[in-house]
Every structure is written in structure tokens, then in C-alpha cells.
């Protein structure tokens, strides 16, 4: 038993000596530094070219006229019945047909006139030069307005 105690004591002594040597060993003043450079790279992808389309119709850069737009320049239903060059027809319930020009809305039919909300059509309704005291037929304009109802 004595031998095992001696061996244990010797091993313990060596262990203590090794720890002491490690504590007294010189250590560097500052830890070594490592420099890492990170560079971000945007991923690049190659996409196939979009298929090309050939069209034979020109593309208009002019915005489309609003629904109900009518003008003297494009009118084909007889003489232009108004003294203003154009306007936008509307049909409001219950069948009130109106035309708006320059921010003013005029009645076209009796329903709209009876509402007392619109300017008098007579202010812009063209006189008939062929029959004094009468106006140009408003019927075709009224028909176009009714088509919007």
C-alpha cells in the first residue's frame, strides 16, 4: 500500500509542478489580431430576353377621351347643335341626360331640366340659321346621351 501512496504523491507533485510552470510561462502582451475583410457581392442573374411582339397598329400617346365625349370636329349626325366646341354627355338616374363643357353642366332633356340642378341648355344651344326663331335639332345629341343610361 505504501507504494501506491508514493506513486500517487509523485503524480500529484508532477501535476502541481506542471501547473506552476504554466502559470509562470510568459504570455503575449496583447492577443494576436486577425483581420477579416467582408466584401458583399450582389448576385447576378441572367434572364432571357422578353419575347418581342410585332404590332401593325400605332400606339397612341394621347389619352382616350372620356366615355360620352362628343365634339364638333368629329360630329357626323347633322349640324353640330351647340355653340361650344365639345362636351361630355352623361346620363344620371332616373334618365337625366346632361352635357358638361368647361366645368358647367347643362340639361339636355326634360328630366334633367326638371331637376333644377343644371344650367340652361339655351345658353349653348345653337340657333338654326335656316329657320329663324328655332334651334338646331338636339335629337341626335339626346340619343347619344340616352345610350349612356
Q: Is 111 helix (H, G, I), strand (E, B) or coil?
A: helix
| Alpha carbon 32 to its chain's center | 57
| Domain annotation covers residue 116 | yes
Is residue 27 domain-resident?
no
Going from the C-alpha of 33 to that of each of 6, 29, 30, 148, the distances in angstroms are 46, 12, 8, 81
Closest CA to 121 of 111, 130, 129: 111
Which of 104, 102, 87, 103 has its CA nearest to residue 148?
A: 87
CA distance 87 to 98: 10
Number of domains in the chain: 1
Domain region containing 140: 69-147
Q: For residue 5, is it within any domain? A: no
Domain membership of residue 141 (yes or no) is yes
For 94-135, how does the pLDDT look when each residue is reduced to its tens digit (9 = 90+)? 999 999 999 999 999 999 999 999 999 999 999 999 999 999
The residue length of the chain stands at 149
**H or E segment and range at residue 100:** strand 96-101
With respect to residue 130, please indicate whether it lies within any of the assigned structural domains: yes
| pLDDT tens digit sequence for 54-101 | 555 556 566 788 899 999 999 999 999 999 999 999 999 999 999 999
Amino acid at each position: 500500500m505504501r507504494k501506491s501512496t508514493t506513486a500517487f504523491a509523485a503524480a500529484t507533485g508532477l501535476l502541481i509542478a506542471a501547473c506552476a510552470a504554466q502559470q509562470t510561462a510568459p504570455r503575449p502582451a496583447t492577443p494576436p489580431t486577425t483581420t477579416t475583410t467582408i466584401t458583399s457581392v450582389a448576385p447576378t442573374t441572367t434572364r432571357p430576353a422578353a419575347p418581342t411582339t410585332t404590332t401593325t397598329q400605332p400606339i397612341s400617346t394621347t389619352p382616350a377621351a372620356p366615355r360620352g365625349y362628343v365634339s364638333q370636329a368629329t360630329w357626323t349626325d347633322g349640324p353640330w347643335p351647340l355653340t361650344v366646341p365639345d362636351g361630355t354627355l352623361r346620363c344620371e338616374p332616373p334618365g337625366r341626360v346632361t352635357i358638361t363643357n368647361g366645368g358647367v353642366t347643362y340639361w339636355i332633356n326634360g328630366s334633367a331640366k326638371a331637376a333644377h340642378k343644371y344650367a340652361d341648355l339655351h345658353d349653348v344651344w345653337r340657333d338654326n340659321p335656316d329657320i329663324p326663331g328655332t334651334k338646331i335639332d338636339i335629337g341626335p345629341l339626346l340619343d347619344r346621351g340616352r345610350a349612356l343610361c
